Amino acid sequence: MSPALRLAVLTGCALAAAPALAAGSSVVGENLLWLALILMAARLFSPFAQRLGFPAVLGELLLGVVLGNLGLAGFHTFGSIARDPIIAFIAELGVIVLLLQIGLETRLGDLVRVGPRAFLVGSVGIAAPFALGAFVVGPALLPGLSSHAYLFLGATLAATSVGITGRVFRDLGRLGTTEAQIVLGAAVIDDVLGLVILAVVSSLVQVGSVSAGQVGTIIAEAVLFLGGSIAAGRFLAARLAGRLASLDSGPSMLFALVLGSGLLLAWAAHAIGLAPIIGAFAAGLLFEPIFLRDFATPRVVQEIEPLLPASGRSTLVADIRRVLERQASHQHEHMIEPIGYFFVPVFFVLTGMQVDLRSLADPAIVAIAFGVTLAAVAGKLAAGLAAGRGNSPWIVGWGMVPRGEVGLIFATVGKQLGVVDEALFSVVVIMVIVTTLVTPPILTRLLARRP
Amino acid sequence: MSPALRLAVLTGCALAAAPALAAGSSVVGENLLWLALILMAARLFSPFAQRLGFPAVLGELLLGVVLGNLGLAGFHTFGSIARDPIIAFIAELGVIVLLLQIGLETRLGDLVRVGPRAFLVGSVGIAAPFALGAFVVGPALLPGLSSHAYLFLGATLAATSVGITGRVFRDLGRLGTTEAQIVLGAAVIDDVLGLVILAVVSSLVQVGSVSAGQVGTIIAEAVLFLGGSIAAGRFLAARLAGRLASLDSGPSMLFALVLGSGLLLAWAAHAIGLAPIIGAFAAGLLFEPIFLRDFATPRVVQEIEPLLPASGRSTLVADIRRVLERQASHQHEHMIEPIGYFFVPVFFVLTGMQVDLRSLADPAIVAIAFGVTLAAVAGKLAAGLAAGRGNSPWIVGWGMVPRGEVGLIFATVGKQLGVVDEALFSVVVIMVIVTTLVTPPILTRLLARRP
């Protein structure tokens, strides 16, 4: 095809009145290649990383760091990917699916049992780093800034991002431990408290004061949303599952119900100002294996039955059926799995790509960032001390160290309000990078030592 | 949270330096809600539609038509979704996954066996509607247009979109029939020939002439791509599958290999000017169950074994293993299934949303469109006559009737070259709507009559 015609066709597609129908457009092409490479690289990396004793998620993060910084070596091919809104959305779906999976593998009862403990850990994990950042490290390492700037630094240190930790716990099959449940519960509480801190600090900067009513409204909204959606959702899920199973006993309906609920609550959480992943996690808590027994009718039993000896066939069939049903009651989790394989690595590779190694260029800033990062880690480790007897304070503490996207969002809000300057922003970025990258290997080592 | 703060947070997210990390942005929210609704509506619709004797895909298309035209009744909420590039990309992934699934369920050998027949059907299916449109219906119904306009009308009538037909065959479990294989083969050939026609017509309009070398290059590129990627892909797939199975016998690696190949070849097809779905279909042809035997090691056997009576246990285990292995050798297809449940309905709902019922407002245009649509159907039914003894000419002919996105892309190129005016474009849009919507129920009825 002549270049001119090729251009005409591509432009034609891109400008077509019907964007979906004309989706052979140029933007589609690059993204397909990208998704293919991330999907395959992530699955090839993970067994290698694990054989070397690294958590798989670190492989994906580092792959992202390398790709994202090839621009420094003169390759600018990948820069556009990191800024592509479609890839960003797929990445967001990835972390939503991950937290939905984590929610599905968590029993609400276990979470309620550790509730008070998680509340304590979450509160200390917000208060300690906030105080350290706003009143100690900020004024000491960055003298001369406004008190508002220190408040914002404290807010970014208080943030918790549960994606990294949840992934490590899940990869190692440790979501069932009390430590994991405390960290998950504390992360939910931190998301609500983080919202409160951001609101208070922003209000202080913009209006100069903060009203108790405002703070009360935020907390009430969040508690009502979480409590309401879990209560109503569990009531509905138990009944809907039975109805849907009678309509079509295949697992596709159940899959749609589970994944659809995840997306719906992620949207609802986002709509009231919480992180979408908190909604997805709550959606995962709605479904207990017991609701889903009606879907557990594996057709394989019918094929196996005639193979069995006639004497004692019925007991044997019942036994085999039980094995297969136990499998089948987790079928919805198995069906979400491929969705996770596809989406989740995109999130971690893209998170790695956001790491701009140029922020490490100024030694003075790196030195300050080092001090701030120490405070960030110390503050969350202090929360680990509240984990209670029998639980490893180190695992709980390190579990809350990664700041990920949440810290960056807080810093960005501060930047837009004119409170956080370029230097402080760079410091926060380095703190986010370090807390996000060092946690997976440390947590893996800590968990390996536990029986 | 105060509205002002909420805005600050949302803006902060949307403008954050790190788009993926800050993916709690406002655009994310709406799309999550959308995907949840499409996912759940599609799965709820399909059993109802099937109970009423409608193909499931028609339910999804009509759902789209209703949502897309609520603007006419004063509800404009859904208009922005139809134009959202992220949803458009997810829809494109949907039709790519569908054609990958269809490719996986098609044996290359069967396709080669019907090759000459498919070539004949494809050629008639391009030539007959093109001639009807360019030389008969165009000049008769739309007198006074330039000869270039008639050529473009012919090109849009020649287009074939295999997504709709493939979905109907697949939903009814008829992909194994010779008719289905002829239609699939003919669709691949039509995509190449359609590209040739578009190039020739565009060249005539722009340069006034067309060179044999140009046409030869397009054909050579397409044939080399399809032949080369299938030959090289099958060689690699057979070897890679063995290697990967020895690395990690779980199905996740295989899943990544299959889905990754689908995305990769979709990108490659797009890069040389073919439709991405043709690449995805070719990728599906790479994997035969025999390559994948090494992955077939279901752990369930180990759980069942101790339950069996000791006497004759080994033969029994072997029998049961065989049943489970037969299942497992299709495991990659099963793992792609949830990806399909998630993405495929988005394509069909969005296709329905592109239908602008306002184009039906002008009776004169509707009358002309009616004649053009008759020619569009007649031309493809003529191709059905070439299906050969023992194959239903009606099934093959109707299988090629939907024009879908391909016809619209052709018309859009013509519009951009200044050849296709508003009236002619509306006529083409109506023809595309009708051929796309009437085919699923007709094909379902025709297939139901066959044993």
pLDDT top residue among B306 and B117 = B117
Distances from the Cα of A270 to the Cα of A29, A184, A201, B286, angstroms: 30, 18, 20, 42
Chain B residue whose CA is closest to A220: B1
pLDDT at B354 over 60: yes
Tell me, yes or no, whether A10 lies in a domain.
Answer: no
Average pLDDT over residues B165-180: 86
Q: Residue A154 has what pLDDT?
A: 92
Best probe of the A interface among B31, B35, B43, by most A CBs < 10 A, is B43
Q: Is the pLDDT of residue A331 over 70?
A: no
Taking 60 as the threshold, does the pLDDT of residue B450 lie above it? yes
List pLDDT tens digits, range B400-411. Answer: 998 877 787 788
Residue count of chain A: 451
Confidence of residue A4 (pLDDT cuts 50, 70, 90): very low
pLDDT of residue A376: 93
When pLDDT is averaged across residues A48-62 and rounded to a whole number, the result is 76
Interchain contact, A221 vs B405, CB within 8 Å: no
User: CB within 8 A of A323, min separation 6: which ones?
Assistant: B300, B303, B304, B307
- Closest by CA to B287, choosing from B243, B252, B324, B239, is B239
Higher pLDDT, A47 or A347: A347
Option in A28, A35, A95 nearest B270 (CB): A28
Give yes or no for residue B61 having a pLDDT over 90.
Answer: no
| Res. B361: pLDDT tops 70 | yes
User: A374: buried, middle or exposed (CB in 10 Å: 19+, 13-18, 0-12)?
Assistant: middle
**Cβ-based contacts of A198 with chain B (< 8 Å):** 9
Residues 6+ apart with CB under 8 A from A53: A444
Residue B75 has pLDDT above 90, yes or no: no
Q: In which band, very low, low, confident or very high, does the pLDDT at B13 lie, cut at 50, 70 and 90?
A: very low
Given B24, B28, B86, which is nearest A409 (Cβ)?
B24
- Read off the pLDDT band of B1 (50, 70, 90): very low
Rounded Cα distance between B298 and B306, Å, is: 15
pLDDT at residue B330, as a whole number = 60
Question: Which tokens hold the place of A208?
Answer: 């100069």
Question: How much is the mean pLDDT over chain A?
Answer: 80
Q: Which two tokens stand for residue B183?
A: 């239609």
Question: Which residues neighbour B397 within 8 Å (Cβ) at sequence distance 6 or greater?
Answer: B380, B381, B382, B383, B384, B385, B387
Query: Which residue among A39, A264, A275 places its CB closest to the CB of B33?
Result: A264
Hey, are the CB atoms on A412 and B15 less than 8 Å from each other? Answer: yes
**Distance between CA atoms of A251 and B338, rounded to whole angstroms?**
10
Report CB contact under 8 Å: A32, B267.
yes
Q: For residues B292 and B326, give the distance between their C-alpha atoms in angstroms, rounded to a whole number.
A: 11
DSSP, collapsed to helix, strand or coil, labels residue B449 as helix
pLDDT score of B337 more than 50: yes
Structural domain includes residue B230: yes
Q: Which of residues 418-437 of B touch A (CB under 8 A)?
A: none
Yes or no, beta carbons of A202 and B5 under 8 Å apart: yes
Determine, for residues A12 and B199 on separate chains, whether the beta-carbon distance falls below 8 Å.
Answer: no
Out of A95-109, A266-280, A405-419, B271-285, pick the least confident: A405-419
Q: What is the pLDDT of residue A7?
A: 33
Query: What average pLDDT does range A24-48 have in this prediction?
Result: 77
Out of A10-14, A24-28, A287-291, B57-61, which region has the weakest mean confidence (pLDDT)?
Answer: A10-14
Q: What does the alpha-carbon distance between residue A203 and residue A214 come to, in Å, rounded to a whole number?
A: 10
Tell me the C-alpha distance between B42 and B350, whole Å.
12
CB pairs A-B closer than 8 Å? 321
CB A123 within 8 A of CB A193: yes
The two three-digit tokens of residue A230, written as one number: 């879990």
- Return the minimum-mean-pLDDT range out of B293-307, B341-355, B387-401: B293-307
- Smallest CA-to-CA distance from B292 within B233, B334, B235, B242 is with B242
Please choose, from the candidates B166, B151, B276, B144, the residue with its C-alpha nearest in 3D space to the C-alpha of residue B202: B151
Mean pLDDT, rounded, for A429-449: 87
Listed by number, the residues of chain B in 207-226 with a beta carbon closer than 8 Å to a beta carbon of chain A are: 214, 217-218, 221
CB within 8 Å of chain B, chain A residues 354-373: 354
Of A19-28, A109-118, A330-339, which one has max mean pLDDT? Answer: A109-118
A274 or A345, which is more confident? Answer: A345
Structure tokens at B242: 């063995």
Structure confidence by residue, pLDDT tens digits, B127-137: 999 999 999 99
- What average pLDDT does the segment B266-280 reach? 86
- Say whether B276 and A304 touch across the interface (CB within 8 A): no
Best of B89, B258, B356 to mutate (most A CBs within 10 Å, chain A): B89
Dist. CA A403–CA B113, nearest whole Å: 58
pLDDT reported for residue A136: 93
- Residue B167's pLDDT band, with cuts at 50, 70 and 90, is confident
In a domain, B22, yes or no: no
Angle formed by the axes of helices A251-271 and A212-247, to 10°?
170
Confidence of residue A397 (pLDDT cuts 50, 70, 90): very high
For residue A257, pLDDT over 60 is answered with: yes
> Is pLDDT above 70 for A297?
no
Chain A residues with CB inside 8 Å of B260's CB? 36-37, 39-40
Using CA atoms, how far apart are residues A358 and B284, in angstroms rounded to an integer?
Answer: 43
- Tell me which residues of chain B, numbers 387 to 406, contact chain A at a CB-CB cutoff of 8 Å: 404-405
Torsion of CA A144, A147, A149, A154, to 10 degrees: 120
More confident residue, B310 or B155: B155
Of the candidates A130, A43, A65, the residue with the CA atom closest to the CA atom of residue A379 = A130
What dihedral do alpha carbons B126, B129, B130, B135 form, nearest 10°?
A: 160
Rounded CA gap, B122 and B194, in Å? 10
Phi and psi angles of residue A146, each rounded to the nearest 5 degrees, phi first: -70, 160
Q: How far is A176 from chain B (nearest CA, A)?
A: 22
What would the mean pLDDT of A244-271 be, rounded to a whole number? 81
pLDDT at residue A33 is higher than 70? yes
What is the per-residue pLDDT for A278? 83
Answer with the residue of higher pLDDT: B365 or B243.
Answer: B365
| CA B297 – CA B288 distance, rounded (Å) | 17
Answer yes or no: is B10 within a domain.
Answer: no
Which pLDDT score, from 0 to 100, does residue A182 have?
92
Nearest chain B CA: its distance from A270 CA (Å): 6
**What residue has token string 């340069």?**
B207
Quote the pLDDT of residue B245: 66
Q: pLDDT: is A241 or A146 the higher one?
A: A146
- The pLDDT, as a whole number, for residue A325 is 62
The DSSP code sequence of B178-223 is HHHHHHHHHHHHHHHHHHHHHHHHHHHHHTS---HHHHHHHHHHHH
Contacts of A282 in chain B (CB under 8 A): none
Q: Which of A39, A92, A303 sits opposite B259 (nearest CB)?
A: A39
Point out the residue among A32, A88, A413 whose CB comes nearest to the CB of B266: A32
Q: Does A301 score more than 70 pLDDT? A: no
Distance CA A142, CA A135 (A): 11
Q: Per-residue pLDDT for A279 more than 80?
A: yes
- CB within 8 A of B68, min separation 6: which ones? B78, B79, B82, B352, B353, B354, B355, B356
Q: What is the overall mean pLDDT for chain B?
A: 80
- Domain assignment present for residue B13? The answer is no
Integer Cα distance of A235 and A223 in angstroms: 18
**The pLDDT value given to residue A326:** 60
Report yes or no: A24 at the B interface, CB cutoff 8 Å.
Answer: yes
Pick the closest to residue A161 from A265, A56, A275 (CA basis). A275
- Kindly tell me if the per-residue pLDDT of A406 is higher than 80: no
| Whole-angstrom distance, CA of residue A50 vs CA of residue B82 | 43
The answer to whether the CB of B160 falls within 8 A of the CB of B181 is no
Q: Which two tokens stand for residue A22?
A: 């004309």
Q: Are B382 and B136 in contact (CB under 8 A)?
A: no
Place of tokens 């016809």: B407
Higher pLDDT, A90 or B43: A90
Per-residue pLDDT of A155-199, as tens digits, reads: 999 988 888 888 888 888 888 888 999 998 898 888 888 878 887
**Helix A115-131 with A147-158: angle, nearest 10 deg:** 150
Structure ipTM over 0.85, yes or no: no
Overall number of domains in chain B: 1
Please give the structure tokens belonging to residue B250: 């779980």
How many of the other CB atoms lie within 10 Å of CB of B97?
A: 27
What is the C-alpha separation between A26 and A47, in angstroms, rounded?
A: 34
For residue A83, give its domain range. 26-449
When pLDDT is cut at 50, 70 and 90, the band that residue A408 belongs to is confident
Mean pLDDT of all residues in B167-184: 87
- Token representation of residue B57: 């895909």
Per-residue pLDDT at B251: 67
Tokens of B178: 């010779």
Q: Residues B52, B56, B58, B60: is their CA dihedral positive or negative?
A: positive
Nearest to B5 among A89, A199, A350 (CB): A199
Residue B7: band (very low, low, confident or very high) from pLDDT cuts 50, 70, 90 = very low
Token output for B130? 């093109």
Query: Which range scores top for mean pLDDT: B152-156, B195-199, B322-326, B433-437?
Result: B152-156
Pick the residue with more confidence: A263 or A289? A263
Q: Report the pLDDT value the prediction gives residue A327, as an integer from 0 to 100.
A: 58
Give the domain CATH number at A211.
1.20.1530.20
User: Is B8 contained in some domain?
Assistant: no
**Whole-model pTM above 0.90?**
no
